[in-house]
Amino acid sequence: MNGAAVGWADRTDAIMRKHELEPGIPVIGPGVSIHFIGVGGIGMSGLARVCLERGCRVTGADARLNRQTELLSEGGATIRVGAQPDLVVGSDLVVYSSAVRAEHPERLRAAELGIPAIRRGSLLAHLTRDLALLGVAGTHGKTTTSAMLSLAVRAAGLDPTILLGGELPNIGGNALLGSDRYCVAETDESDGSFLELDPHLAIVTNVEDDHLEHYGDILSLREAFRDFIGCVEAPERRILCADCPNLYALARRNFGTDFVPYGFSEAGDIRGVEIDLARDRSACRVLIHGKPAARLEIRVPGMHMLLNALGAFAAGLSLGLSADSLLKGLAEYHGTRRRFEVLGDWRGATLIDDYGHHPTEIEATLRALRQYSEGRCLVVFQPHRYSRTDQLFDEFAGAFGGVDLLILSEIYSAGEEPREGVTAKRLLSRIHGVASVVYAPTLGDVEEALREQVQAGDTVLFLGAGDINRVAYRLLERGI
């Protein structure tokens, strides 16, 4: 911990130089008015919450209200539904996600008034420019790992600002303003904005082919991750998963041995062995450079969850924090919303919600499902984005092996234009390794299929980054 404090002092000038405010961009604090386009998004709402807690005036608009907008309204933000260009008037800064096009009425109004507008990722860079950023990156596992790291370092005595891509019940939401110089944040590689950050420490969970609509090819994606890792000057604060072949090869090629590998493989300096999996928990013994050091236990199922916990543990150790305190914090992790979240029982079946939307995520989550379930395993899957479905078509087709019943909904566009021949119905014709498959294009069709198929003792997993979980909540609300 003392080493981390010294490192922060040494790096302050460099951080300030890299993130000098662009002309017209205000310092985020009291008296500043910020408008968020698409404020209900999980990443945008977290940033808005921290800005509120820093004393800013916050306004925002979104297509519909949700839990995040309600929490922001309760905190003093002005939130409205639909395009609201009038809310932009009087703002000092407008923030938008990469999915918001330049012709959006609120962006056009900001341009007309000469109000600076920046991407969500750029705001994160501005918010953290005077903090020691503990950034978590990777194709999968960012939210879980960030949440685990937050609890671990808090238990070890830090009070970081926290910015997550999901709700963590332990902190009452997806963001929290801390009192010290640290910030735990989930970073966003999807639009390249994580390269605007200057991380004091970085955890990278994996690197796989996703977001190629932005990068063009896997080589460019890997180069972006290389550059992100390279932003961390101290080798002991580059925490990289040794179990991901792409990431490990990238790290060895570009950084030699100047990083900390973690995982279950023999390449891990922080390595999990003697894995113990139960219905409601996962545990392992931890070796540090081959020597027994600790027993790590989390209260959720899934090898992938345990792997994320190893990454958080390794990061805490690299900051000089107490191993016992870190383990205590990790033991307090009971999950985040939409990450293998047990919602309740319906007709004697257990309903679970998970955000998984990439084939590798799906396969890992299905392993956790089999660890948890004591009866039939049913999966409701809503593919996310035409581009991802197209790029990973064959991988999706083979990702559901061993499932007793797969209910396949139509693709959630996430604002993308349809692609010719890219449909869930076509994907259905290629699915293999599943006992039974049902095509249910709409949410209403999904509900009808579940009413026909679900039996007492089943476990039903709702998978996807869209709105498929609305069906689960609807069933639980009705109760019949």
Separation CA 434–CA 432 (nearest Å)? 6
Neighbours of 33 (CB within 10 A): 18
Neighbours of 29 (CB within 10 A): 10
User: What CATH fold (topology level) applies to the domain 19-120?
Assistant: Rossmann fold (3.40.50)
Instruction: Say yes or no to pLDDT of 317 above 80.
Output: yes
Which residues have a catalytic role annotated? 142-143, 186
Q: What Cα–Cα distance (Å) separates residue 424 from each residue in 233, 257, 385, 437, 463?
A: 45, 44, 11, 12, 14
Percentage helix, strand, coil, to 5, in the chain?
Answer: 40, 25, 40
- Residue 86's contacts (CB-CB under 8 Å, 6 or more residues apart) are 109
Q: What is the pLDDT of residues 68-78, one digit of tens each?
A: 899 999 999 99
Side chain identity, residue 91: S
Judged by DSSP in three states, 257 sits in: coil
Closest CA to 83 of 132, 134, 35, 11: 35
- Model confidence at 20, pLDDT cuts 50, 70, 90, reads low
pLDDT recorded at residue 214:
60
State which CATH number among 3.30.200.20, 3.40.605.10, 1.10.287.1080, 3.90.190.20 fits the domain covering 341-478. 3.90.190.20
Q: What Cα–Cα distance (Å) separates residue 458 from each residue in 351, 354, 448?
A: 9, 16, 16
- Model confidence at 13, pLDDT cuts 50, 70, 90, reads very low
User: What CATH fold (topology level) applies to the domain 128-331?
Assistant: UDP-N-acetylmuramoyl-L-alanine:D-glutamate ligase (3.40.1190)
**Burial (Cβ within 10 Å: 0-12, 13-18, ≥19) of residue 49:** buried
Instruction: Say yes or no to pLDDT of 313 above 90.
Output: yes
Q: What is the pLDDT of residues 349-371, one digit of tens each?
A: 999 999 888 888 888 889 889 88
Partnered with residue 163 across adjacent β-strands are 175, 185
pTM for this predicted structure: 0.81
Closest CA to 317 of 332, 307, 327: 327
pLDDT recorded at residue 161:
96
Separation CA 66–CA 351 (nearest Å)? 21
> How far is C-alpha 438 from the geometric centre of its chain's CA atoms?
29
- Model confidence at 2, pLDDT cuts 50, 70, 90, reads very low
Judged by DSSP in three states, 422 sits in: coil
Domain boundaries, the chain: 19-120, 128-331, 341-478
- Model confidence at 6, pLDDT cuts 50, 70, 90, reads very low
Lowest-pLDDT range of 96-105, 315-324, 436-445? 96-105
Lowest-pLDDT range of 11-15, 48-52, 291-295? 11-15
- For residues 134 and 182, the answer to whether their CB atoms sit within 8 Å is yes
- Model confidence at 333, pLDDT cuts 50, 70, 90, reads very high
Percent of the chain at pLDDT exceeding 90: 62
Q: What are phi and psi of 104, to 5 degrees?
A: -60, 135
Q: Strand pairing of 182-186 and 161-168?
A: parallel
Residue of 461 and 19 predicted with greater confidence? 461
User: Mean per-residue pLDDT for 158-173?
Assistant: 93
CATH topology of 128-331 equal to that of 341-478? Answer: no
Can you point out the beta strands (E) in 222-358? Answer: 238-241, 260-263, 270-278, 281-288, 291-298, 341-346, 349-354
Q: What are phi and psi of 169, to 5 degrees?
A: -55, -35
Mean of per-residue pLDDT scores for the chain: 89
Instruction: Say yes or no to pLDDT of 394 above 80.
Output: yes
